[in-house]
């Protein structure tokens, strides 16, 4: 015992310089290749940042009189024309929704954000959340359509912009999720006919691009329906996205089902629970908890994929942005508009991906 106390403490080499310098030496200039990499990257970065600041801030045109792009055209090639954003933002965000009523889609967007925020709180992961979702989605529908409570009716071919993107993504999730659960259960079922139907559905949908499903929704759907029966374009795209979402979510959920230990199934059987009660009370709660981070990632993917409806001409955020710059006066400033909506998409996706990462850290940290 005494021997241990006699061991001299390891002597630390006195460290020279202040902390910043030490950090710089350890993280940027630790070896000769590192020195070269740092210097080259620094030069490239500095050049990029300087030219972006010159273009995007110093020489940029921030505001112009309404409908006058002469200042922007004068600065073309030298500076950005951010003035196109204040000029067009109402159209980009809300499309052709009646101008005086645009507070309604704005409120709907806020409701969506609040709904997402509430759904991310762990304390709120309860049955009540389902009712909150139903209530919020109903409220959003009322806001968007109107026709009741003194709100004027706005048909959905006038909807556009950010609310449409959020609607496509959220309703896709809200309906695709239960569908995904059913298909995932079906794929793991012992009943051969049900299993092969589910496998066929998942593999068919996952094997083809979303673009072709959207084409199918826009071109073939009218052929599928009885004569005279016509569904709105937005709803058709929504159905395609739900079917698409269902197949991908089913695969994620199946991963979760596989992660539930056999003992849990056996214990549920031993309790004499029926199939559905076993799944609802024992298996699914555990399976879904396992896969929440990949579910959030899948949701990010959908959110981005809704932009594909551009190809069949539905006015989501990307389509309104692209349409906004058809105006000949502002035609040349598409880069600025694309950066603007890229920032919107980025804000949503980045928030979700940070959230998914924090969840992952929580679950693996335990």
Partner 1 sequence: MRANEAHGRKSLLSKRFEDFCAVTTDSPRPPPRRTFSLALGGPQLKGLLWQILVVGIALAIIAFLWSNTVHNLSARRISTGFAFLGREAGMPIADSLLAYSPKDTYFWAFVVGVANTLRVAVIGIVLATILGTLIGISRLSANWLLSRLAAVYVEVLRDIPLLLQLLFWYVLMQALPAARAAWRPIEGVFLSNRGLILPSIPIGEGQLWVLGTALAGAVVFYVIRRALIAQQMLDGRPRPAWPFALGLIVALPALLSWQLGVRWTIAWPELRGFNFVGGLTLAPEYFALLIALVTYTSAFIAEIVRSGIQSVSRGQWDAANALGLRRSFMLRQIILPQALRVIVPPMTSQYLNLTKNSSLAVAIGYQDVVSIANTTLNQTGQAIEAIALIMAVFLTISLSISFFMNWYNARIALVER
Q: Return d(Cα 243, Cα 135) in angstroms, integer.
A: 23
Q: Which residues bind to partner 1, rule: CB under 8 A?
A: 27-28, 30, 34, 37-38, 41-42, 45, 186, 190-194, 197, 204, 206-212, 215-216, 219-220, 222-227, 272, 274, 300, 304-305, 307-308, 310-311, 318, 322, 334-335, 338, 341-342, 345-346, 349-350, 353
| Bridge partners of residue 316, in order along the sequence | 161
CB of 259 to partner 1, least distance (A): 16
Closest residue by Cα to residue 348 from 284, 304, 293, 283 = 304
CB of 100 to partner 1, least distance (A): 30
Contact 57, 77 (CB under 8 A): no
Q: Return d(Cα 236, Cα 140) in angstroms, integer.
A: 19
- Number of Cβ within 10 Å of residue 147's Cβ equals 11
Q: Return d(Cα 240, Cα 179) in angstroms, integer.
A: 13
Pick the closer one to partner 1 by CB: 52 or 350.
Answer: 350
DSSP 161: B
Pick the closer one to partner 1 by CB: 95 or 136.
Answer: 95
Q: Return d(Cα 124, Cα 136) in angstroms, integer.
A: 15
Pick the closer one to partner 1 by CB: 7 or 32.
Answer: 32
Residue 50: exposure state from Cβ atoms within 10 A (0-12, 13-18, ≥19): exposed
Contact 160, 96 (CB under 8 A): yes
Pick the closer one to partner 1 by CB: 114 or 301.
Answer: 301
Tell me the residue ranges of DSSP E strands in 270-351.
none
CB of 105 to partner 1, least distance (A): 20
CB of 138 to partner 1, least distance (A): 27
Pick the closer one to partner 1 by CB: 38 or 286.
Answer: 38
Token pair of 188 as six digits? 């793991």
Pick the closer one to partner 1 by CB: 28 or 118.
Answer: 28
Pick the closer one to partner 1 by CB: 34 or 119.
Answer: 34
Pick the closer one to partner 1 by CB: 155 or 230.
Answer: 230
CB of 111 to partner 1, least distance (A): 23
In order of 21, 23, 44, 47, 49, the CA distances from 40 in angstroms are 20, 19, 6, 11, 14
Helix (H) or strand (E) holding 326: none
Helix ranges restricted to H, 121-232: 127-145, 162-187, 192-207, 210-215, 221-224
CB of 25 to partner 1, least distance (A): 11
Q: Return d(Cα 253, Cα 186) in angstroms, integer.
A: 11
CB of 185 to partner 1, least distance (A): 11
Contact 89, 66 (CB under 8 A): no
Give backbone dihedrals phi and psi of 81, rounded to 5 degrees, phi first. Answer: -115, 80
CB of 143 to partner 1, least distance (A): 25
Q: Return d(Cα 243, Cα 251) in angstroms, integer.
A: 13
CB of 22 to partner 1, least distance (A): 13
Pick the closer one to partner 1 by CB: 146 or 294.
Answer: 294
CB of 296 to partner 1, least distance (A): 13
Pick the closer one to partner 1 by CB: 25 or 65.
Answer: 25
């Amino acid at each position: 015992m005494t021997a241990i106390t006699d061991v001299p403490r390891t002597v630390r080499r006195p460290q020279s310089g202040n902390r910043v310098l030490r950090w710089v030496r350890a993280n940027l200039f630790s070896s000769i290749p590192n020195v070269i990499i740092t210097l080259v990257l620094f030069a490239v970065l500095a050049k990029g940042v300087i030219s972006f600041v010159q273009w995007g801030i110093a020489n940029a045109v921030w505001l112009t009189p309404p409908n006058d792009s002469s200042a922007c055209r004068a600065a073309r090639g030298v500076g950005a024309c951010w003035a196109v954003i204040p000029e067009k933002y109402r159209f980009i965000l809300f499309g052709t929704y009646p101008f005086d009523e645009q507070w309604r889609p704005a409120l709907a967007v806020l409701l969506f954000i609040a709904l997402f925020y509430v759904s991310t709180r762990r304390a709120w992961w309860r049955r009540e959340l389902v009712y909150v979702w139903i209530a919020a989605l109903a409220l959003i529908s009322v806001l968007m359509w109107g026709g009741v409570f003194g709100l004027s009716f706005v048909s959905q071919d006038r909807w556009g912009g950010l609310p449409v993107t959020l609607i496509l993504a959220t309703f896709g999730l809200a309906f695709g999720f239960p569908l995904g659960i059913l298909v995932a259960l079906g794929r793991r079922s012992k009943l051969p006919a049900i299993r092969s139907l589910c496998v066929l559905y998942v593999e068919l949908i996952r094997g083809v691009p979303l673009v072709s499903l959207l084409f199918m929704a826009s071109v073939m759907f009218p052929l599928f329906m009885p004569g005279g029966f016509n569904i709105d374009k937005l709803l058709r795209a929504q159905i395609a996205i739900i079917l698409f979402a269902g197949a991908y979510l089913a695969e994620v959920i199946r991963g979760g089902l596989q992660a539930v230990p056999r003992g849990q199934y056996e214990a549920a059987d031993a309790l004499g629970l029926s199939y559905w009660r076993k799944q609802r009370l024992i298996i699914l709660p555990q399976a879904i908890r396992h896969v929440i981070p990949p579910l959030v990632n899948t949701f990010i993917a959908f959110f981005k994929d809704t932009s594909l409806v551009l190809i069949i001409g539905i006015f989501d955020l990307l389509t309104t942005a692209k349409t906004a710059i058809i105006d000949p006066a502002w035609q040349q400033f598409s880069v600025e508009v694309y950066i603007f909506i890229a920032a919107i998409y980025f804000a949503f996706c980045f928030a979700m991906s940070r959230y998914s990462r924090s969840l992952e850290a929580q679950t693996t940290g335990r």
